[in-house]
Homo-oligomer: A and B are copies of this chain.
């Protein structure tokens, strides 16, 4: 009987865990959900490049995915470097998007907007940065938006 009692006690303890436990039902047969058993907060992003200055209404001409947990992956050309950059720059995304200080660009107005949507370390992200022209984008500081 002791073992049964213990089993029930464990069951009760499990039920007091809130959201995470409530989500731990078995997945669909044959499916292998990627993040179900992960102990990391999810980090999955869609990085987009939009022609024009309006990130919401403009047409997205390119988009890549970037997954940073549990391991760097996605269609981004350099996922490991991009994830490392993001981790090192918690302060702000602008530091990664802004053109590097030592670059010279023409100044015409031909705007390009980069966007980041999705989840970063468990929090939803909705970021946009507009460059005056493609030169600024090409010379952006980091590799995150170099796709």
- CA A25 – CA B124 in complex, angstroms? 31
Chain B proximity mask over A13-54: 1 for CB below 8 Å, otherwise 0: 000001110110101100111111010011111101111100
Residues of B within 8 A of A44 (CB): 46, 48, 63-65, 75
A33 shortest CB reach to chain B, Å: 5
- In the complex with contacts A42-B60, A143-B28, A126-B126 CB distance below 8 A: yes
A7 within 8 A of B: no
A13 shortest CB reach to chain B, Å: 18
Residues of B within 8 A of A33 (CB): 62, 64, 77, 147
Contact B75 A35 (CB under 8 A): yes
